[in-house]
Chains A and B, each alone.
Chain A
Amino acid sequence: MNFLLAAAASAPAAAPAGFQFTPALGMFLAFVLVTLGITYWSARKSTGASNYFAAGRGITAWQNGLAVAGDYMSAASFLGIAGMIAFKGYDGFMYSVGWLVAYLTVLLVVAEPLRNAGKYTMADVLAYRLSPRPVRAMASLSTLTVSTFYMIAQMVGAGALVKLLLPGVAYEWAVTGVGVLMIVYVVFGGMLATTWVQIIKAVLLMSGSLFLSILVLKHFDYSFVKFFEAVGKVPVAGPDGTIVHKDFLKPGLIFGLEVTKGWGPIDLISLGLALVFGTAGLPHVLVRFYTVPDAKTARISVVWAMIIIGAFYIMTTLLGFGAATILTPANISVENMSAPLLAKALGGEIFFAFISAVAFATILAVVAGLTISASTSFAHDFYTNVLHHGRERGPGEEVRVARIAAFVVGAVAIFLAIKLQTINVAFLVGLAFAVAASANLPVIVLSLFWKRFNTAGAVWGLGVGLVGSIVLIILSPSVMDPSGKGLIHAAPWFPLKNPGIVSIPLGFLAAWIATLMSNDRTSETKFAELTVRANTGLGSEKATAH
C-alpha cells in the first residue's frame, strides 16, 4: 500500500503544468487520476458486504487516524477558519479549538462501544436492545438529514471555490464534477476507496499547511516574537476609510459582547456544545470505526486523528495570522481566499496551484465520506432492516441497494447544490452538527449507559432532536435576516445562530420523558448483553481475512 502514498505525494509535482490548463487544474486532474486508480484497485477487492461497507475491517490504526482526519477537516475549516483568523483575528482561532476538543467525546464515550457492539451503522447499537424497526427508521432519517445538509454545504462551497480558483470553469460544471467523482468513488470503490481518498487528502492537506506555515515563519525570520508583534498591529480599514492598526490577538471581533448585542459568548458556547457533542454523533465519522479490526485499534486511531487534527488547527493560526500580517485584509478579495492567496504571495504560482488542488481534494474526501455513510444507512438500516425485516432477499442485495442509494444521494446533492448556488449555505454545517448533537448523541449515550432506556425514548429523542434543531435554525439569524442575506427577510425569532444550547437539552429531555412515559421494559433484558459486548468486545465483528 505504500506505493499509493508515494504516488499521491509525487503526483502533484509530476502533473502537467501549463498546457492549456492552469497549473491548479493540472494538479487537480493528477489527484483525480490517482484516486480513480485507487477506486479501480478497490473495486476488485470490494466484494461482499463487510468489504464494501467497512473495508473488510482491515484498516490499521494510523491509516484510520488519517482517514478520520481527512473525513472531518472540510474546506470550511481549511479555507474558512484561516480566512476568519485573517479577517477577525483571535475569535477565528477560538472557533477552531472546539473542532479538536470534540474528539475527546469520541474517544472516551462512543468509539469503542460502537465498534464492539455494531456492524455498519450507529443504528446497529441502538437496535441492539430496542425495537429495531422504528429505531432504525428514525436513525436512518437523522443520518440522511445530517449527511445531506453537510453535503450541500460542501458542494455549494466547492462550486464557489472553483469560481475563485479556476475562473474558466463554470459553477455547474464544478459541482457536477465533484458530485460525479464522489459517486464513482463510493459506487465502485466502496469504503476502501473512500478511505484511501481521505488518507491521501489528509497527507496533502497536512503537507500543504506545514509548508505554508514554514513559509510564514520564514517571512518573520523564524521569530515568534516578530510574528506576534506584527499580529499586534494589523492594518485594517476603519469606519471612515482610513487605515487603523488593530491588535488581532485581542478577542471580540466576532463573538464580542458589543458586536453581537450581548449574545456572542452564549452563541459561542452553543456552538461549542454542538461541536463537543455533535462530532460523536456524526454518521460519517462514526462509520469509520467499523473499518478497523477491533475496539483497541479504533481507540488508537482516534488518538492519531487527534494529533493530526490538532496540529492542523494550530497551523491555521499561522496561516490566518500570516495572511492578516503579510497580505493584510485589504488585499484579500474574499475571506475564503486568504490561505490560497498567501500561498501565491509566499510560494508563487505553483504553490498556489498546489494549495488550490488541496482544497478540492479536501472537499472530495469529505463528500465521499458523507455519501458512503448516507447510502450505508439507507441500505442497511432502512432497506434491509426496516422494509425487509433484516433479511436480504438475495445474495449481495444490501450492497446493490447501497450502490443505487449512493448514486441517488449524489444526484440529489448535485441538483440541490446547483439550485442553491446563490444562497449562503454555511449555516447548514452548523445545522448538521446541531442535529448530530441533539438527536444522535443523546440516544447513543442513553442506549449504552441507561438500562431503563426504551424504544419510545429513542424515537422521541431522535425526532425532537432532529425537528428541534431544524426549527430553531429556521428561526435563527442564519435564516431570518432583515438585511436580506438570509432565506427569510424578517427579524429572527431566535437570537442565536447555533441552536445547540437549547436543542441538545431538548433531545435528552424528550428521550428521558418518553422513556418514563412508556411501560415498555423489554429493552432491559438485553442490557447485560450490550454492556458485556461493549466493554469486552466479545462477539464483535471480526476483520475478514485477506
Chain B
Amino acid sequence: MVEKTPEELFRERSKRFEDAVQLEVPDRVPVAPNFGFFYAKYAGITPESAHYDYDKWAMAIKKTVVDFQPDMYVSPRMILLVPGAALDIIDFKQIRWPGHGVSGSHSFQFVEEEYMKAEEYDAFLDDPSDFIIRTYLPRIYGAAGPLKMLPPLSSMMVGYAGVHLTAALARPEVLKAIEALSKAGAESLKWRSIMDSLHQELTAMGFPSCAQAIAVAPYDVIGDFLRGTRGIMLDMYRRPEKLIKAVEKVLPMQLQTGIYIARRSGNPMVFIPLHKGADSFMSLKQFKTFYWPTLHKLLVGLIDAGLTPWLFIEGDYTSRLDTIRDIPKGKAIYHFELTDIFKAKEVLGDVVCIRGGVPNSLLCTGTPQQVKDCCKKLIDVVGKGGGFIMDSGAVIDEAKPENIKAMIDFTKEYGVYA
C-alpha cells in the first residue's frame, strides 16, 4: 500500500470529522482525546515549564501528537494557557498558576471572587467597555490598578475638548500600568508566534486542530469572570431582570469574537466550554430562563455564519437533553462529560454529533483492557450510524499513556464503518 501524503491525511481526517458532524457515516469513528496538561506530563515537562518556556510547551504538544496520532489535536489556544511571564507582569488575580499559588507540577486553577459587585450591573450595562477598562481590569490585573484614575472613556467624545483628557495618560502611575500591559502583550505575541509555527508544522504533518476559536456562553461570562458562582446564583433571585439584560448584552460580543477568530484561522470549529448551566448548578426552569436562551442564539448565530459550534458540556446535562435538542440538524458537536451519553444518543442522535464518552477517571486509574471495553461499547451504541467522535469526558491533565494509546488505537481498529 502506498503511504498517504500529509495532505491526504489532513483531508481524510478533516473529512472524517465533517462527516461525523453532518451526521453522515464516516470511514470510521474519529478519535481526538481532549489533551490539556497531559501534553506536558507525557513529554516530561512540568506545567510550570509549559507556562514559562514556550518552546518546550510547543515541543511537548508536537511530541504527544506525533506519538499518539489522534485524528485532530487540541490547540494550545484551547487549553487557555496564558504565558506565565505575561501573568507575572500584569500580576493576574483571577487564576493561580504553577509556581504562583499552586505547585509547579499542577495546572492553573480559577480564583472565584465578585469581580463585578452586585450593585455594578448598571455600570456594566450602560457602558461595558468603560466598565472593563476602569473597574474590571484594575481588579483582575494588579498592574492595571492605576487605570481607575482614567476619566470615563465616553468623556473623550467631544472632539478637541477631549484632547485635554489625555493628560490622565501622562500620570506616572497610569504610564506604568500601560507599560506593563504592553510588556505583557509582547510576551503574548512571542507565545503566539511560537504556537503559530507549531500549528503550521502540525498542519504540514497532516494533523488538523480541533478548533482555534473559543466563545463563552453569555451566562458563563457573567458567572465565571464577573460575578462568581455564588454571586450569579443570588442574582437569579435578587435581580433577575438585570442578569437577563447582562447576558443579552454579552451575547453579540461573544458571537462576534467567535466568528472573527474562526474566520481568521480558517478552522470553522468554535469551542464553547459550558460551566454553570449543568444539572447540579441550576434547575431546569432556571436553565430555560437564564442560560439557554442566549446560548441558543449564540449557537444559531455561529451556525448561520457557516461555523460549527463544539459545545463542551461539563457536568451532567441529562435533564436538559430535550431542551438542547432545539438546534439546526447536523451543524454542531455536543461533547458530554457526566451526562448519560447513551441517553444523549437516543434523544439527540438525529440532530447533533455526539462527542466524548471515555471517563477521565478510567484513563487515570483503569487498564488498557478496560479502556478498550469502554470504547467498544461507545462505538457499538453511540457510534451506530455515524455522528460520534470518540473523546474523553473532560480535559485530560493526568492519564496513563498506555490508556490513551489503547483509546486511540482501538478506535482506529474497531471503529471502522463497514
Q: Are the chains A and B members of one assembly?
A: no
State the B residues within 8 Å of A (CB): none
State the A residues within 8 Å of B (CB): none
